Amino acid sequence: MSLSFHIDFNGNCQAAFEYYAQHLDANIGMLLLFKDSPASSSVPDNWQDKIVHGNIKLAGIEIAGADVRPEHYNKSKGFYLLLTFQTPEQVKQVFAHLSVYGEVLMPPQKTFWSSCYGILVDQFAVPWKINCGG
């Protein structure tokens, strides 16, 4: 058995995975386009270069994703991806990258459980909590 997460994207799955690979030291696996799959006939021409299935490995965990057509897309809610780092500096650095064009819900700060903790929704509508566990 294995466990992974699947995130629906609003047409920007490839951009999100490339951003995470660059800023979170993640490794992109497959990025299968609609046009290269049996699902190509189910989407319009302007959606053929979108991702029907992709995956990326981040800190040993697989995150899968796909582009969902606008009429079927709903923003993620009810969960956050939690990243834990050893130092406040690491938290602040990653938070700075993920918050670009995103929404900061709680800037990195000291809490009763962490020396540095912050919450944001990134530019791809993915919710994150960034924690210092050191």
Provide the pLDDT for residue 13: 98
Domains contained in the chain, CATH given: 5-72 (3.10.180.10), 81-132 (3.30.720.110)
Q: How far apart are CA 9 and CA 30, in angstroms?
A: 16
Report residue 17 as tokens.
């995975």
Confidence (pLDDT) at 27: 97
What's the confidence (pLDDT) of residue 134? 65
Element (DSSP H or E) covering residue 15: helix 13-24
Q: Determine the pLDDT at residue 3.
A: 87
Are the C-beta atoms of residues 132 and 88 closer than 8 Å to each other? yes
Neighbours of 51 (CB within 10 A): 24
Query: What is the reported pTM?
Result: 0.93
Give, for all 134 residues of the chain, the pLDDT tens digit: 988 999 999 999 999 999 999 999 999 999 999 999 999 999 999 999 999 999 999 989 999 999 999 999 999 889 999 999 999 999 999 999 999 999 999 999 999 999 999 999 999 999 999 999 96
